[in-house]
Structure 1
Amino acid sequence: MSLVSFTLKRSKRHWAIVVALMLICCLVMPQWASAHAYIVKASPAENELLVTAPELLSLEFNESLQTAFFDIKITAPDGTRADDGNVRIDAKRPHIMETGLQSGLANDTYAVNWKAVSADGHPIQGAYVFHIGEPSGAPAGLADLTSGAGEGNGPIKWILSLTDWIQYLGLSVILGTLAFLLFRIMPTSMATEPLDVPGSHKLLWISYGAASLAAMLSLPLSTLYESGVSLSELSWALIGSALKLTSFGLIWIVQMLIIMLLAVTILSGYDRDRSMRTRIWSSYGSLLLVLGWLFTHAMTGHPAAAEQRALAITMDYVHLIGAAFWIGALTAMAICLPPLTDQLPRKLRGDIYWTAIRRFTAWGVGAVALLVATGIYSSLMILPAPILTSLFTTGYGLVLIAKVVLLIVMLAFAWRHARLARSGSGDRLAGSLKAELAAGAIVLAMAAVLTHLSPGQPAPVGPFNEVQTTDDGTTISLQVSPNVTGENVFEVGVKRADGSIVNDLEQVTLSLTHLDMDMGIYEITIPKNDTGVYKAEDYISMPGRWNIKVHLLTRSLDALDAEFEIDTASP
């Protein structure tokens, strides 16, 4: 049996595995889960009118919170604190954060400003108001409180994504290089022993150094991100709290242990004073340690907050392995093969290139199988329903679409390389191999970005502007600008069926209800006027999907109603 036919038969078996995995994903479909924590019940609720002052304020979330970097501040209109400063997360009920209120609070409007860290390590924050007795209007500075609602420390988030990307790249190259050497993807005629390939040693150490440095920096960066403090406020005490009280702290310690052990196994694998058997087993040890390092990344992503946590983490882990092998083995072939073959005759050089490609294809099809099956599963698990809407209206969905497009580009290149390998034409690695590798590097960058994006957070789409028509032909328009958390301008316009402006409204009321969180109903009353333009400045307390009910009452006591759904993003 020829190598080509053997490879094709193995590929068919791998594609059968793809189909089987997809069927399993459909049968074992996870429950829908947003990957970041959000409030499911607030007591007092947003804009709730209380007769007497409460003794306790409680925020219940959809998932557990981490016991570090959380706080609730309740502020009176004059800026004084109304809470007792005793903010707590009950160990037996880690999804509930609460604080006591000071006694003897006067009838007034109070602002609640809260922050926490969700189970997947993402900081969340928000603000809202409640009233005791007659409302007195929003406390001063509430717009500033709500302008950062959602996730904090944006710049640090992108730096963390960069460190994750460097780790993904480094680990992929280490994994792929070891696989290239140990799994005989490299033609055996090219080196006496697999670990004697020139350039592989340097490639491993460069990748190890970059990934290790990025991992070390991730602890202070994660502390900045989760605590929300500035760089000047970062302290060893804060870093210590992150180590002891957050899930990432324990994972970081494990990563440091892996880094130290990996240095030992790489050194042993290239120590020529040791027997080849010992060197090979040391290299297999390096492979296992890299797989362990990748597992720690699966533990810190969105799957860590899923309802079916073990299954979600497993799927994400397998997804990472598939991507790392594909991109890493491509890197090893692109860097290690040319120096080995430059001095060989042209015909032999071509045979070696395409033999390596054929051997890689046999493994690569399996990697693609894992990527596709686990990618579908993870997307269905993480994106909030409806899936198609989330794909095109959230930042997470848009990045995911771009990632899928690049993956298709990589598959097209891989198909071309497989065809060239079957024909055996040419004597050099195709230039498109480097293009496939570049696309893979960008895919890893997008994976790093997705780790720190909220699947439920809408992409910044700009001001909201929509018109609805009632049964009698009256049109009601609503504009919300800039449509971000914090201060917004709400403008309502009304026209009769003949196009004339309705300017005799006695009452214009907007009722805002968050569609994903139990925040109560927040009402905005727009003053009446004779211009026909009804405008007010008010705030939106949280990002996400909001229902806005517009209620209009004319001087003749005719009621007009319309409902709008908006997606609000963080600024």
Structure 2
Amino acid sequence: MTERFLRIRRRLIGVLIALCAAALMVLGAAGTAAAHAALVSTDPAQNSVVPSAPTAVTLTFSEGVTLSADSVRVLDPAGKQVDAGDSGRADGKGDTARVTLRPGLGNGTYTVAWRAVSDDSHPVGGAFTFSIGAPSATVVPADSAQGVKTDGLISFMYDTGRVAAYAAFALLAGAVAFVLICWPAGAAVKQVQQLLVGGWLGLLLSTLVLLLLRGSYERGSKIAQAADPALAHVALDGRIYTALAVRLLLLALSGVYLAVLVGQLGQPGEERPAGSRLGVTGVLLAVGLAATWVGTDHSAVGIQVWLSLPTATLHLLAMAAWLGGLVTLLVGLRQGVGAASVRRFSRLAFGSVTVLVLTGVYQSWRGVGSWSALTGTEYGRLLLIKIGCVAVMLGAAWFSRRWIARPAADGADGAAGLRRSVLVEAVVAVAVLVVTTMLTSAPPGRVAQEVAALPPGPVAAVGRAVELRLPYETGGRTANAKGVATLGVAPVAVGNNTVRLRLTDPAGQPVEVAEIELTFTLPAKDLGPLTVALKAEGTGSWSGTAQLPLAGEWVASVAVRTSDIDQATSVQQLTIGS
């Protein structure tokens, strides 16, 4: 067993080196891919002044979106809703939203608040303004503005449910694969049966939680409204609901399958090989469950969907076989799993990792597309973190080979060493699952770069000015990790405001940073964040235009990133007069 295991490990490392080299070449020559809806253009244009009242407001997104009747709302300078409440498509195009305006609109600044669900199942929202004739003061009552943010508690609970669902699926599918392929006799072991039931029950409960929270997650409502029948109806209309409902159906079938699996393989006596029917049925159920994820995430939109869907399915299945198998192996090592079973899992892990790397290279090319997006976007940075975690897991697996040769000679000490190395792999696997969930929530590189490239709005006349000082400290070790963001705003009134942003170190010298973002939020009206398109004007200096449509206590937020992992956000209130 030892020599064969070592040969497999050597081949694995060689294949990984070759695939990493291929990944470098692919990323170097890559194009871009799309997912995660972002607002690309509007008609009337954001911050524009039109001579006469338009008949409708049209929004165009980077991908298809799902709309409700009130997805787009338009408020006049007095806060009155002036749209017809008929949010729909523009010319039937799935990546657009249009709402008709009532006739006879007067001059002034109008606020457009919108919220939709992108084709990859993520809710998106925002707000912008345009003016008819000339800008004006706008006072919108708090109960008239449409919220564009998802409640923080709802987001946390929903994201936690998604992580739990991924983990439970990996445990369920990986444990089944381990029993079928590596250790059929393990079906009779109580601890292995507990893993199977735990994975199934965890996936069932997390899916029910996601169904309960989906309506509130899409509409941005509070936790107290999670059981609102109207919000439940919103969830029932969406594609994500269909996927979750199918998952529940497959889980019902999986429960029967687990009972049959344990019933056939878990009888006392000689170890029974898994039958072909059990294997084929298990594969079909696993593929079906995996499809309930990939059919509603980034893989379902953008370029080469025909290839992305099966690739993402294979990636998820390989992840489950490796990570869930590791947990089952850890239990098996404590229950006296045989050397032949360990050898079979080494082959299973080798195949799983190979599939993971191959499919991961393709998905990375599709989601990132360029070197600049790999380091300059949230998606790219999360991808680097995931690659790092997987590298740590591979390192732990490499050290495990030193213990494989010892159990026969060293007895309990060698087996304990192997258990420890497998435990390290399993612990890091949890981090991989968390980062994977974050990746599915982050807009891929191309979309982030498209949004950043949008031109700034028209510049307002400079009047009264206010200067805010926002100290920041990212925790890094570079010279720019600590300093002050100085934000100038003029004329500090409703409408267009010129903003100038400077970053200086503790000595007062201007500094460059990897990324900077400026947003404004009006908490009392649940409006924002409104992102300001910044234009660089030299070292540590940027300018732009903030269209602030309402009077009130705004919150200015400056997010500074000084390295791939060091980031800080500073906030300060700013009073905008009418």
Q: TM-score, normalised by structure 1?
A: 0.72
3-state SS, counterpart of residue 106 of structure 1: coil
For 2:497, the equivalent position in structure 1 comes to 524
Deviation at 1:82, TM superposition (A): 2.1
User: How far apart in 2 are the matches of 1:568 and 1:114?
Assistant: 23
Partners of 1:291 and 1:321 within 8 A in 2 = yes
Partners of 1:10 and 1:362 within 8 A in 2 = no
Does residue 1:247 correspond to 2:247, yes or no? no
Matches within 5 A, 1:483-502: 490-491=487-488
Partners of 1:73 and 1:83 within 8 A in 2 = yes
How has the CA–CA distance of structure 1 residues 323 and 479 changed in structure 2, closer, same or farther, with 3 Å as cutoff?
farther
For 1:373, the equivalent position in structure 2 comes to 358
**Higher deviation after alignment, 230-239 or 322-331:** 230-239
Kindly provide the CA deviation profile for residues 143-178 of structure 1, in whole angstroms up to 9, marking residues without a partner as x.
9999976x5334323222222222222221222222
Partners of 1:173 and 1:324 within 8 A in 2 = yes
Matches within 5 A, 1:195-344: 195-234=187-226, 235-243=228-236, 245-271=237-263, 281-282=277-278, 284-340=280-336
> Aligned partner of 2:204: which letter?
S
For 2:92, the equivalent position in structure 1 comes to 92
3-state SS, counterpart of residue 270 of structure 1: helix
Matches within 5 A, 1:360-399: 360-383=345-368, 387-388=371-372, 390-399=373-382
User: How far apart in 2 are the matches of 1:545 and 1:411?
Assistant: 42
User: How far apart in 2 are the matches of 1:382 and 1:568?
Assistant: 27
Partner of residue 432 from structure 2, selected from 437, 443, 458: 443
**Higher deviation after alignment, 421-430 or 161-170:** 421-430
For 1:498, the equivalent position in structure 2 comes to none
**Higher deviation after alignment, 330-339 or 416-425:** 416-425
Partners of 1:70 and 1:116 within 8 A in 2 = no
> Aligned partner of 2:315: which letter?
H
Counting matched residue pairs gives 481
> Aligned partner of 1:175: which letter?
A
How has the CA–CA distance of structure 1 residues 90 and 261 changed in structure 2, closer, same or farther, with 3 Å as cutoff?
farther
How has the CA–CA distance of structure 1 residues 14 and 539 changed in structure 2, closer, same or farther, with 3 Å as cutoff?
closer
**Higher deviation after alignment, 22-31 or 74-83:** 22-31
Matches within 5 A, 1:170-181: 170-181=168-179
3-state SS, counterpart of residue 79 of structure 1: coil
For 1:452, the equivalent position in structure 2 comes to 441
3-state SS, counterpart of residue 65 of structure 2: coil
**Higher deviation after alignment, 25-34 or 163-172:** 25-34
Partners of 2:188 and 2:265 within 8 A in 1 = no
Partners of 1:266 and 1:286 within 8 A in 2 = no
For 1:128, the equivalent position in structure 2 comes to 128
Deviation at 1:255, TM superposition (A): 0.5
Deviation at 1:126, TM superposition (A): 1.1
User: How far apart in 2 are the matches of 1:146 and 1:421?
Assistant: 64
User: How far apart in 1 are the matches of 2:388 and 2:365?
Assistant: 17
Deviation at 1:335, TM superposition (A): 0.9
User: How far apart in 2 are the matches of 1:107 and 1:10?
Assistant: 73
3-state SS, counterpart of residue 534 of structure 2: strand
Deviation at 1:419, TM superposition (A): 3.1
Matches within 5 A, 1:340-351: 340=336
Larger radius of gyration, structure 1 or 2? 1
Deviation at 1:107, TM superposition (A): 1.2
> Aligned partner of 1:547: which letter?
L
3-state SS, counterpart of residue 306 of structure 1: coil
3-state SS, counterpart of residue 335 of structure 2: helix
Deviation at 1:509, TM superposition (A): 9.7
Partners of 1:126 and 1:542 within 8 A in 2 = yes
How has the CA–CA distance of structure 1 residues 146 and 85 changed in structure 2, closer, same or farther, with 3 Å as cutoff?
closer
Deviation at 1:65, TM superposition (A): 0.8
Deviation at 1:337, TM superposition (A): 3.1
Partner of residue 416 from structure 1, selected from 375, 399, 404: 399
Partners of 2:74 and 2:82 within 8 A in 1 = yes
Deviation at 1:237, TM superposition (A): 3.7
User: How far apart in 2 are the matches of 1:378 and 1:479?
Assistant: 42
For 1:101, the equivalent position in structure 2 comes to 101
Does residue 1:547 correspond to 2:530, yes or no? no
Structure 1 gap ranges (5+): 342-351, 460-477, 493-507, 511-521, 528-536, 552-561
The percentage of counterpart residues that share the same residue type is 25
For 2:32, the equivalent position in structure 1 comes to 32
Partners of 2:115 and 2:125 within 8 A in 1 = yes
Does residue 1:12 correspond to 2:11, yes or no? yes
Does residue 1:427 correspond to 2:427, yes or no? no
Structure 2 gap ranges (5+): 450-466, 473-484, 501-517, 522-527, 546-556, 560-568, 572-578
User: How far apart in 2 are the matches of 1:282 and 1:548?
Assistant: 61
Partners of 1:180 and 1:329 within 8 A in 2 = yes
How has the CA–CA distance of structure 1 residues 278 and 10 changed in structure 2, closer, same or farther, with 3 Å as cutoff?
closer
Partners of 1:127 and 1:146 within 8 A in 2 = no
For 2:154, the equivalent position in structure 1 comes to 156
Partners of 2:187 and 2:262 within 8 A in 1 = yes
Matches within 5 A, 1:465-476: none
Deviation at 1:413, TM superposition (A): 0.5
Partners of 1:69 and 1:227 within 8 A in 2 = no
Kindly provide the CA deviation profile for residues 479-525 of structure 1, in whole angstroms up to 9, marking residues without a partner as x.
89699xxxx98418xxxxxxxxxxxxxxx899xxxxxxxxxxx9535
**Higher deviation after alignment, 84-93 or 361-370:** 84-93
Deviation at 1:408, TM superposition (A): 1.5
For 1:49, the equivalent position in structure 2 comes to 49
Partners of 2:172 and 2:324 within 8 A in 1 = yes
User: How far apart in 2 are the matches of 1:538 and 1:317?
Assistant: 37
> Aligned partner of 2:135: which letter?
P
